[in-house]
Structure 1
Amino acid sequence: MSYQNLAFMIGLLGSIHCVGMCGPLAFAVPSLQPGWAYLVRDKLLYQSGRIISYCLLGIFIGLLGRQLWLGGIQQGVSVLSGILIIIAATSRLFKISIAGSGSFLLKPFHRLFGYALKHKANHLIIGMVNGLLPCGFVYLAMAGALNTGSVDTAISYMFWFGLGTTPLMFIAGLSAGFTGLTFRKKINAVVPYLMLFLGCWFILRGMELNIPYLSPAKAATITECL
């Protein structure tokens, strides 16, 4: 599976979670002009804004990942990423939570989002703000982008992740709620297993077992980086 396909699938499956978490924010953004054409335009701008923010995050992650690859510690980073993802997946499976975790990150976001709404900012701008929302799936995508080893590939990875989240988020924005709570719970129950798969894949990739695509040898990894 290519990085692009993997990123798209993470975004597509994660968008069920996004509808529950980010959906209310998307629904709270009104279209300032009446009519379906304006509504579709505004929701497309909103989704485009999110993807732009993901790509900007991809630039930062790509620059960091490139330095790690040049420093020769990319294998350790891949293994560490896999371990952290497995820990996160295990906490979801056993419903282990840390009280107040991430709340300090959400406060400035909510202030910024509220400011944008109050001043009736363009839907593209509001979407860009939404793209910066602290989110476990965004962190998961960033972990994948970090292991690509180049800025261009990291941006591409984050772009395809954002594109994967778009269909359901767009439909939900138009319909003010697309999936029922029961359906979202069923999808969310599958998510930890996807995370376990990704975590194991990152660990195997870092171990360089000379297994094509799954765990390439060091020489092949360096070639990909160049």
Structure 2
Amino acid sequence: MLTSALVLGLLGSLHCLGMCGPIAFMLPLDHANQVKKTAQLSIYHFGRLLAYGIIGVLFGLLGKGLSLFGIQQKLSIGIGVLMIVLVLIPAKHLNGHKLLSPIYSIIAKVKYKLGTELKKRTPDTFLTIGFLNGFLPCGLVYMALLGAMAMGNPLEGGLYMMVFGLGTVPLMSLVVYSKGMFSTAIKSRIQKLIPVFVVIIGVLFIVRGLGLGIPYVSPKAAPADTVSATIECHQP
């Protein structure tokens, strides 16, 4: 399943450029020193991965809590179905909902802090910018978080999100060094592939939850431990 996180990050990089691309271009990098520039960009990416990892741990912990009720496989199936449904539902039907108002308020504060940090040139600013960047809203991040929750383990959830983040690093780095390297036609084609791949990941989670006995893909559920109700008394 970690492979799905990596491919989702790689394919979704162009989608992420819509939100993170302008931030990457605005980074106060030292363009005169390529070594220092690369180091600064690496720190920025580390900050993003750190944020993804923390969120992934929280969602993995949530998934573990649900799995304690014996619904690990049902959780995997439910998340797979939810991924597919979210692809089919236009985003305009979800944006602006009153229930999301507290989230929008937090996002506004993150954006304000991010704007403040972009004006600084202190050594720690790249880490802070990357960390804050990781909390900005992104449809693909939400999909990855569903995958992290389906892992049913905080460490695996954090790893899932960090692998997803690693998948976004190559393209996010290339745009800094090579502006305008992708034509509109190429971007459009990749954008069309993203929903298809999200549906494929959703199907994989559904198959995983079915417990078909396929190694690494759909392993059978471990048999529940049984406790004998017979009590034997032994004379001392």
- Larger helix proportion, structure 1 or 2? 1
1:77 aligns with 2:75: yes
Within 2, Cα distance between the matches of 1:44 and 1:166? Answer: 9
Match in the other structure for 1:15: 13
Q: Structure 2 vs 1, CA of residues 17 and 179 (structure 1 numbering), >3 Å: closer, same or farther?
A: same
Give the drift of 1:127.
0.7
C-alpha contact (below 8 Å) 2:84/2:198 kept by paired residues? yes
Match in the other structure for 2:109: 108
Match of 1:31 among 5, 24, 29: 29
Within 2, Cα distance between the matches of 1:23 and 1:213? Answer: 35
Within 2, Cα distance between the matches of 1:124 and 1:86? Answer: 34
Note the residue ranges of structure 1 that are not aligned, 5 or more in a row: none
Q: Deviations over 1:75-129 (max 9, x none)?
A: 22212211211112223xxx56325367826423321211222344511110111
Give the drift of 1:177.
4.2
Match in the other structure for 1:135: 138
C-alpha contact (below 8 Å) 1:43/1:174 kept by paired residues? no
Q: Secondary structure at the match of 2:37?
A: helix
Alignment of 1:141-220 (within 5 A): 141-219=144-222
TM-score normalized by the length of structure 1: 0.85
Alpha-carbon RMSD across the aligned residues, in angstroms, is 2.4
Larger Rg: 2
Q: Structure 2 vs 1, CA of residues 64 and 28 (structure 1 numbering), >3 Å: closer, same or farther?
A: same
Match in the other structure for 1:61: 59
TM-score normalized by the length of structure 2: 0.82
Q: Secondary structure at the match of 1:123?
A: helix
Within 1, Cα distance between the matches of 2:72 and 2:144? Answer: 17
Give the drift of 1:57.
1.1
Aligned identity (percent) is: 37
C-alpha contact (below 8 Å) 1:53/1:128 kept by paired residues? yes
Q: Structure 2 vs 1, CA of residues 33 and 187 (structure 1 numbering), >3 Å: closer, same or farther?
A: closer
Match in the other structure for 1:97: 92
Amino acid aligned to 1:53: A
Within 1, Cα distance between the matches of 2:181 and 2:224? Answer: 42
Q: Secondary structure at the match of 1:100?
A: coil
Amino acid aligned to 1:213: Y
Note the residue ranges of structure 2 that are not aligned, 5 or more in a row: 226-236
Amino acid aligned to 2:178: S
C-alpha contact (below 8 Å) 2:8/2:198 kept by paired residues? no
Query: Alignment length, in residue pairs?
Result: 217
C-alpha contact (below 8 Å) 1:45/1:124 kept by paired residues? yes
C-alpha contact (below 8 Å) 1:39/1:174 kept by paired residues? no
